[in-house]
């Protein structure tokens, strides 16, 4: 009897190892397709776990977060759905379908537009990414240097002077906008309904309020499993990091 149990246990272990090896061998595209199949079959937890695994292993795309949002919405996790579609917007700032989905989910959560945009510089950062202003600035500044060199060498017409100063001005403007966007504070989305805001980063801390599910909040600092945030009314406090999912990278 013991030998039979050992044999069955060994077989189960082999099957589990083979399944894990197959999962690791699957390409990101195959894993993405499998996650979609699970979502269509109604297996939302496994679909979300697959999307999370893809994102954690560096295969995050706007399409992945779009699908993540649909699955989370189907589960009734409105905060998580908003977080996912806002992540999609971070990766595809010019996608109008993403913008419409954000509005739909925002209205479903009874949130004002201002509650999704606590830092105006975040919009500047998205616009800069959509227009690739960092690259544009570099190209314009290089063209300005070339035009200046030709103008100073007296080998080109005076039009080079106009081109030199015009491209310099445009390049500086593009660089300033891109730099301003880089100053946007890290932010996160409240993904848990009734998430408490605490007076300290401690499991024994007292609650000083409740965060609204789906609200985007600036993340002021991080402390272990907690993040310090500021809600739309200006109240500051600590929340569990698992309750406020980051939209943008947090500093160390």
Calpha distance 144→180 (Å, rounded): 22
Give percent of the chain above pLDDT 70: 87
pLDDT at 196: 93
131, two tokens? 């227009």
Given a cut of 50, whether residue 80 has pLDDT beyond it is: yes
Q: Between these two residues, 32 and 180, which has the higher pLDDT value? A: 32
Would you say 48 and 72 are in contact if contact means Cβ atoms under 8 Å apart? Answer: yes
Given a cut of 80, whether residue 6 has pLDDT beyond it is: no
Would you say 215 and 111 are in contact if contact means Cβ atoms under 8 Å apart? Answer: yes
Q: At 149, is the pLDDT very low, low, confident or very high (cuts 50, 70, 90)?
A: confident
Calpha distance 250→47 (Å, rounded): 26
Calpha distance 223→227 (Å, rounded): 6
Q: How many angstroms from the chain centroid is the CA of residue 117?
A: 14
Greatest mean pLDDT among 142-151, 159-168, 171-180: 171-180
pLDDT at 20: 53
pLDDT at 150: 76
Range 122-139 average pLDDT:
81
pLDDT at 132: 83
Phi, psi for residue 18 in degrees, rounded to 5? -65, -40
Range 193-203 average pLDDT:
91
pLDDT at 116: 84
Range 91-116 average pLDDT:
89
Range 103-132 average pLDDT:
83
Within 41-158, residue ranges assigned H as helices are 44-56, 62-75, 78-91, 96-108, 120-131, 133-152
Calpha distance 153→227 (Å, rounded): 57
Q: Is 233 helix (H, G, I), strand (E, B) or coil?
A: coil
User: What CATH number does the domain located at 187-246 have?
Assistant: 2.30.30.40
Would you say 193 and 249 are in contact if contact means Cβ atoms under 8 Å apart? Answer: no
Supply the mean pLDDT for the chain.
Answer: 83
Q: How far is CA 233 from CA 12, 108, 132, 236, in A?
A: 54, 21, 34, 9
Fold adopted by 2-110:
1.25.40
Q: Is 118 helix (H, G, I), strand (E, B) or coil?
A: coil
Look up residue 26 and give its DSSP letter.
Answer: S
Q: Between these two residues, 154 and 217, which has the higher pLDDT value? A: 217
Domain assignments of the chain as residue spans, ordered by start: 2-110, 122-182, 187-246
Q: At 251, is the pLDDT very low, low, confident or very high (cuts 50, 70, 90)?
A: very low
Q: Which residues, in sequence order, are CB contacts of 113 under 8 Å at separation 6+? A: 106
């Amino acid at each position: 009897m013991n030998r039979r149990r050992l044999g069955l246990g060994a077989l189960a272990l082999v099957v589990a190892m083979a399944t894990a090896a197959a999962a690791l061998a699957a390409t990101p595209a195959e894993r993405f397709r499998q996650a979609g199949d699970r979502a269509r079959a109604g297996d939302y937890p496994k679909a979300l776990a697959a999307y999370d695994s893809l994102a954690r292993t560096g295969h995050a795309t706007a399409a992945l977060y779009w699908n993540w949002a649909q699955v989370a919405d189907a589960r009734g996790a409105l905060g998580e759905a908003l977080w996912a579609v806002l992540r999609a917007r971070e990766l595809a700032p010019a996608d109008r379908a993403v913008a419409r989905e954000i509005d739909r989910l925002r209205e479903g959560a009874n949130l004002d537009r201002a509650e999704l945009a606590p830092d105006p510089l975040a919009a500047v950062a998205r616009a800069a990414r959509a227009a690739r202003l960092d690259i544009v600035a570099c190209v314009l500044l290089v063209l300005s240097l070339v035009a200046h060199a030709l103008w100073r060498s007296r080998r080109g017409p005076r039009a080079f002077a106009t081109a030199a100063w015009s491209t310099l001005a445009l390049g500086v403007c593009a660089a300033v906008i891109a730099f301003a966007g880089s100053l946007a504070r890290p932010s996160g989305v409240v993904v848990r309904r009734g998430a408490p805001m605490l007076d300290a980063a401690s499991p024994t801390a007292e609650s000083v309020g409740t965060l609204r599910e789906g609200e985007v909040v600036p993340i002021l600092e991080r402390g272990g499993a907690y993040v310090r945030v500021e809600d739309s009314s200006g109240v500051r406090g600590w929340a569990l990091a698992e309750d406020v999912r980051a939209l943008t990278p947090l500093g160390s």
